[in-house]
Amino acid sequence: MSIVTPLHLPQFVRVAETARASVTFFLDGVPVQALAGDTLLTAILTQQRHVRRSEFSDAPRAGFCLIGACQDCWVRSEDGTRLRACSTPLREGMRVLTRNDVHNDAHSDVDNEAANDATTDASNKAEAQ
């Protein structure tokens, strides 16, 4: 189960088609299992209660239309690519982020270091003049 969901309760419980091959993917950095042929949305919701947290209110979102017509199920790959979970087929080894803080934290140290370097460079130039 994903460590993201309190109490580790999934939104979806699989009751049929359980004989398909297993696929491993990474959900917020945690290796989890789903079944070949699942969409990302199905794979995520069989692991936790929501697909992502709203970027506006941090409220949990579990998808709305489930057919690709709304904007409610967007998640990101670890490289920052946006993925529509309801229509993206799951692939072995996918690395999916459902939390903004996971992606942002990974880059915030780099961004902060770059900002600090730029400030230091500017200070050094000012002192040299």
* Residue with more model confidence, 10 or 96: 96
Q: Please, which pLDDT band fits residue 14 given cuts at 50, 70 and 90? A: confident
| DSSP assignment letter at 55 | T
Within a domain: 1? no
Half-sphere exposure of 96 (CA within 13 A, CB side): 33
| One domain for residues 32 and 84 | yes
Domain that holds residue 109: 100-129
Q: Over 50: is that where the pLDDT of 32 sits? A: yes
Domain count, the chain: 2
Q: Where residue 80 sits, what CATH number does that domain have?
A: 3.10.20.440
Helix (H, G, I), strand (E, B) or coil at 83: strand
User: Same domain, yes or no, for 89 and 42?
Assistant: yes
Burial per residue of 44-72, b for 16 or more beta-carbon CB atoms within 10 angstroms, e otherwise: bbbbbbbbbbeeeeeeebbbeebeeeeeb
pLDDT, the chain, mean = 76
Regarding whether 32 and 13 lie in a shared domain, the answer is yes
Looking at the structure, do residues 68 and 121 belong to the same domain, yes or no?
no
Look at residue 10 in the predicted model and tell me its pLDDT. 82
Q: Which residues pair with 95 in a beta bridge?
A: 26
d(CA 104, CA 110): 10
Range 106-129 average pLDDT: 42
Same domain membership, residue 80 and residue 111 = no
Look at residue 100 in the predicted model and tell me its pLDDT: 66
Q: What is the pLDDT of residue 11?
A: 82
The amino acid sitting at 41 is: L
Contact call for residues 76 and 51 (beta carbons, < 8 A)? no
Question: Does any domain span residue 115?
Answer: yes
Q: Per residue in 34-58, pLDDT tens?
A: 999 999 999 999 999 888 887 788 8
Question: Is the per-residue pLDDT at 104 higher than 60?
Answer: no
Q: Give a yes or no: residue 43 inside a domain.
A: yes
